[in-house]
Structure 1
Amino acid sequence: MRITKYTILVGTLLIALQACNNDDDGGQEIAPPRDRAEQQIAEAAILKSYLETHFFDTIPNPANPDYNIVIFDTIAGDNKDRQPISESTLLQSKIVKFEEVDYTLYLINFNKGAESTRKPTFADSTLVTYSGELLYDLSPDDDNKNDGKIFDSTVTPIWMDLVRVVPGFRQALTEFSGASSASENPDGTVSFSDDYGNLTAIMPSGLGYYSSGTTSIPAYSPLIFTMQLYKINESDHDADGIPSYMEDLDNDQIVIDNDDNTDGDTLANYADRDDDGDGTLTKDEITSIDANNDGFISSDEITYYDDDGDGIQNHLDKDDRSIKN
């Protein structure tokens, strides 16, 4: 069985996955963002055409022999008989609602991941390798078809906080799971079984950086991410006993917005140790315990209280401050 060996790095998100800042505008007026619904319609047609006129190949990765590089090319000339991506049995799609617009996220499922491992939630931490590229080459005259497309990649697994990545990256990974086993080697590296999640996500700009742009990622660019998912850690960013994904009060799978900030301070609940700002820490207003010792806190392992019976749980109610632990 092939084994992946790497030193695990705890990393922060690089340019490919952080919110991009616009380049210096040189004093010029910045155009307002385009209407999302209209842009979605235009890009849906672009992606449909791309899937119908392009095929993909996998080639060995010289920097990492344990997974392949995915190459996309046009069905033409010597490749005129190749199967389009749209007809591949590996292609799946997922509707993702973001900013009140329904987007189609396309997924090429090379390997779903081990059935024995848990899929990440939209707020978990994931150990991944990935490559991010543009739909089309910025330097089409270059013989290397990927030189002008790839804007970021890593062949060494790094931890990525799904709260902070672009929506398409986040929503793609929640459909996959990690490897079934891992072991530490004498040299300090870690080996993973080869049943890890392996996928490519093709997304409209509305699930990427949309109107933000840099020299390597133009505004309104559809994106392609190829990802390998090795391991998941359930995130509790503020260590209050409530997993971060459970602090999504408005159920939009985004925990950083104002709708998830009970006390209206500078921190959304997932990062706030005192969600209601009553002076009693959230962890002291609930009872949370990993009863089955599986490393994950499920909803039935948390006890919430409502001392004054007003239908609002103590940790979200300034009127209830009693310490329960």
Structure 2
Amino acid sequence: MMTKIKYGLAILIAMLTITISCKKDEDDGPEPIPPRERGAEAIRAQAEIEEFLETHFYNYEDFQADPENFKLVFDTIAGENASKTPLIEQVSYKEVIDAVDMDVKYKLYYLKVREGEGERPNFSDYTINTYDGRFLNLELFDNSVIPVRFSLVDGPSSPGIIRGLQQAIIEFKGAGNVISNPDGTLSFEDYGIGAVFVPSGLGYYQYPPAGDLLPYEQLIFSFELFASEVADHDNDGIPSYMEDLNNNQILTDDDTDDNGVPNYLDNDDDGDGRLTEYEIEIIDGEIFFPDTNGNGIPDYLDPTV
């Protein structure tokens, strides 16, 4: 069965100008709380999330009956729902390193209701989503039923979403088909639907944004993924995901010329005074990296060329 959703084109392509709670809050707040030890906190967070997954289910029967009008809902396994399949038997997980302490790893659980049939976003791309954010008691703290544009990478001058949500979204694909309708709306078919259960170390940790969020809370984000766009944050011709030189899906620690500006935001990656865009070649949409002196270092990362 083909699943469709329609939204206005202008709404779809507009970048949000307001801060949503799944983005970092840069406003000055109260005196920061001294951070807990991240390894110990990761263990506590995993236990809380796994307890939730063992005692709750999602409305999988509704999806099977009518995927076209499906909205993801969680509930407790109890009473008339005592025979439901617990989430712990339906989720997948991946190991994700802590961006602050890279010796700490998390088991990030995510629920793949439908993967989607379109393009899979890179970890640094822009995506078009709806979403809602909930506490483990299922209380809603933020949502958008209108598609919003996410930056999947969070860093200086490019605020984005939390790492746990980013790492889940890249396991999904956008719509398999996008149809432009005569009334100016778009229809999406077979888009990704899922959720992620975010430990605090991949969320806000001790610095939650303003609102009802508290430090060290585990959170649930449900989402629908419609489309994605490859990002080139510094417009140097190299997509941002290709500027992850150590392949850890963290862009802020790749700074070839040690000037304090990570490569994905630096239009002269090697600091030789020649812009990166003039040290690469793009032919028929494909990027090539010349190595003029044959030393194994491409020109755009080699200050001697």
TM-score, normalised to structure 2, is 0.85
Find the counterpart in structure 2 of residue 156 from structure 1: 146
Residue pair 2:33, 2:206 contacting (<8 A) in 1 also = no
Kindly indicate whether residue 230 of structure 2 is the aligned counterpart of residue 234 of structure 1. yes
Instruction: Tell me if structure 2 keeps the 8 A contact 1:9–1:156.
Output: no
Establish whether residue 118 from structure 1 lines up as the match of residue 113 from structure 2: no
TM-superposed deviation, 1:246? 0.6
Which residue in the other structure is 2:88 paired with? 86
Q: Could you tell me whether the CA contact under 8 Å between 1:22 and 1:212 is conserved in 2?
A: no
Is 1:16 equivalent to 2:12 in the alignment?
Answer: no
Matched residue SS, 1:130: strand
Distance of 1:2 and 1:81 partners within structure 2: 28
What secondary structure, in the 3-state scheme, does the structure 2 residue paired with 1:225 have? strand
Deviation at 1:69, TM superposition (A): 3.3
Secondary structure in 2 matching 1:315: helix
- Distance (Å, rounded) in 2 between the aligned partners of 1:187 and 1:264: 51
Contact 2:32 2:207 in 1 (8 A): no
In the aligned structure 2, how far is the partner of 1:9 from the partner of 1:209?
27
Work out which of the residue numbers 257, 282, 286 in structure 1 matches 2:280: 286
| 1:259-307 CA distance string (max 9 Å, x none) | 312223353211222112222111110102344xxxxxxxxx3221222
SS of residue paired to 1:171: helix
Rounded Cα–Cα distance in structure 2 between residues aligned with 1:169 and 1:161: 11
- Matches of 2:19 and 2:69, distance apart in 1: 21
Give, as a single letter, the amino acid of the residue that structure 2 aligns with 1:92: S
Measured in 2, the distance between the counterparts of 1:221 and 1:135 equals: 9
Whether 1:225 and 2:221 are equivalent positions in the alignment is yes
Q: Please give the alpha-carbon distance, in whole angstroms, between the structure 2 residues aligned to 1:69 and 1:3.
A: 13
1:165-244 matches, within 5 Å, as: 165-193=161-189, 195-213=190-208, 214-244=210-240
Measured after TM superposition, the shift of residue 67 of structure 1 is: 4.8
- 1:232 aligned counterpart, secondary structure: strand
1:269 and 1:290 mapped to 2: Cα distance?
24
Q: Any gaps of 5 or more consecutive residues in structure 1?
A: 138-148, 292-300, 321-325
SS at match of 2:59: strand
Query: How does 1:241-280 map onto structure 2 within 5 Å?
Result: 241-255=237-251, 257=252, 259-280=253-274
Structure-1 separation of matches of 2:7 and 2:87: 31
- Output the CA distance in 1 between the equivalents of 2:176 and 2:74: 30
The answer on whether the counterparts of 2:119 and 2:227 sit within 8 Å (CA) in structure 1 is no
On the 8 A contact 1:274/1:281 being kept in 2, the answer is yes
The one of 46, 52, 55 aligned to 1:53: 55
Q: Which residue of 2 aligns with 1:294?
A: none
Candidates 294, 297, 305, aligned match of 1:312 = 297
Contact 2:270 2:301 in 1 (8 A): yes
Note closer, same or farther for the CA distance 1:183–1:81 as it changes in structure 2 (3 Å cut).
closer
Shift of 1:35: 0.7
Assess, with a 3 A threshold, how the Cα gap between structure 1 residues 216 and 289 changes in structure 2: closer, same or farther.
farther
Q: Deviations over 1:164-193 (max 9, x none)?
A: 211111111111111121122222221111
Q: CA deviation at 1:221?
A: 0.9
CA RMSD of aligned residues (A): 2.3
Whichever residue aligns with residue 83 of structure 1, its letter is T
- The verdict on how the C-alpha distance between 1:43 and 1:283 changes in structure 2, with shifts beyond 3 A counting, is same
Q: CA deviation at 1:4?
A: 1.2
| Structure whose CA Rg is larger | 1
Q: 1:75 to 1:23 in 2, by over 3 A?
A: farther
* Counterpart-to-counterpart distance in 1, 2:71 and 2:201: 25
Instruction: Give the CA deviation at 1:161.
Output: 1.3
The separation in 1 between residues aligned to 2:277 and 2:221, in whole angstroms, is 37
Q: Secondary structure at the match of 2:164?
A: helix
